[in-house]
Chain A
Amino acid sequence: MASPLNFQSFKPVALSVPTISAKLNFSDLMGAFKMRLGIGRDHYTVTPGLYKVGNPDSHSDVLVSANYKLSFDMLRKNLESLNLWILVIDTKGINVWCAAGKGTFGTETVVKSVKKWSLEHIVEHRNIILPQLSASGVAGYKVKEQTGFRVLFGPVEARDIKSFIEAGYKATPEMRKITFPIKERAKLIPVDFLYAKYKLLLILFVLFFFSGLDKTGFLFSKMLETGLFPLVSVLSAYIAGIVLATLFLPWTPFRAFALKGAFWGLVVTFANTLFWNVSIMEFLSLGFLNVSIASFMTMNFTGSSTYTSLSGVQKEMKWALPIQLIFACIGFILFILSKFIGPCNI
């Protein structure tokens, strides 16, 4: 077995192959936490190149990874006690799945990296292990044609990579399936929560302001007295559309995400009537607004889900988007009308 030092004679680039730990330290964990909150999400990268885990030699496996640090950390923390190479390719700091969709984790990038780092001089075998989710960007047979390296698509999850290797590069059907458990869904909530923050603030401001409308003109005291209900109601619909619909995704009725959100919009509208005493007109107006807002927010969660298709989203949006707009308009009109006619709010 050749020791890593022997690479000197082959290719100088291998001299500087950095060794990385399979353990994550505090700053890795803090970084992951910040990413989940969307802080500096676009600049969390690993320098592309060849890395060592443990003491790999010319017979060791080669794993290919995206250079998004969360992906890279997820991979290396699952490699304890293994000796292998990790080829980090430049996916512009984007995770495997999205990079494969865009093509940055694509056939061309893989081929280029294999050649650039002279993999043929580093290892004697001719296999590279890629994450299964890169298959939407990488044509395995083309990589083989262009580099001589056979692509083995590993499991979907990095945590299964050890079992995959130990089983002789075989994945069980479970390892091949992408899941969307409640824990994963919960992690995505913060970033999705901020998606429409400015639209939300605008709606809240407008509703609060119009709360002061009255037959006699504009009453500042009425605004302060009655403005809280629409704010709480709309805010709860926004939260329901992104938090409740997401957490309860499999148990929420309907397949279309817009309808799942509408369902939760209705639920919070009725839940709010338990705490507030408002006119029917205002209740109706908030009902329309809430359904529209919650529906829109949940519809946007299609982008974070792991099972929605583009054709499906387009199909759904074709009818959902106009209805959401119409409901929002009806809601606003009813809200303003409720300020002029009917019994005064209590």
Chain B
Amino acid sequence: MQYLKNSATLKLDTDLCTGCGMCTVVCPHAVFEIKNRKAHILDLDDCMECGACALNCKVGALTVKKGVGCAAAVLYGLLNGTEPSCDCSNTSKESCC
């Protein structure tokens, strides 16, 4: 299953990439492959912007605007004038998804 086309904010700076392969380990959607000692993005539309690759890239070759693709969170943010917040449990304690 794929979500919207050409929407993901994931970017790879091939010059910085050392080909360590960590992104291929952490990505839950197999967005990357290592070829000729460099990471490559196979299909950008597979990316769900979880941010695991960027967080675990030691050399900072990956950037992505991390977030949870949750309409309720976006709506919550819109209604409260904040960033999207995954606080749909209606309790003081943060929870949900």
Contacts and interface: CB of A to CB of B under 8 A. Distances in A.
A305 B2 CA distance: 11
Given A92-B94, A135-B55, A141-B56, A303 B49 contact: no
Contacts of B68: 98, 101, 303, 310
B28 A156 contact: yes
A136 B52 contact: yes
B55 A139 contact: yes
Contacts of B65: 310-311
A249 B72 contact: no
Contacts of B8: 309, 311-312
B67 A311 contact: yes
Given A135-B56, A311-B67, A303 B88 contact: yes
Interface in B28-56: 28-30, 46-52, 55-56
Contact of B27 (A176, A307, A309, A312): A176
A109 interface: no
A255 B5 contact: yes
Nearest to A316: B4
Given A93-B95, A135-B56, A311 B49 contact: yes
Give the dominant DSSP class at B's interface.
loop
Interface in A299-346: 299-317, 321
A289 B42 CA distance: 41
Interface string B85-97: 0101101011111
A315 B75 contact: no
A28 interface: no
B22 interface: yes
Contacts of B71: 257, 299-303, 313, 316-317
B3 A101 contact: no
Nearest to A171: B25
Nearest to B87: A102
Interface in A223-257: 249-250, 255-257
A308 B69 CA distance: 5
B7 interface: yes
Contacts of B11: none
Given A101-B86, A136-B51, A300-B72, A307 B97 contact: no
Given A250-B1, A309-B3, 6 more contacts: A98-B95, A136-B51, A255-B4, A303-B96, A309-B4, A315-B7
Interface of B: 1-5, 7-9, 22, 24-30, 46-52, 55-56, 58, 65-75, 84, 86, 88-89, 91, 93-97
Interface of A: 41-42, 92-95, 97-98, 100-102, 104, 132-133, 135-141, 153, 156, 171, 173, 176-178, 180, 195, 249-250, 255-257, 299-317, 321
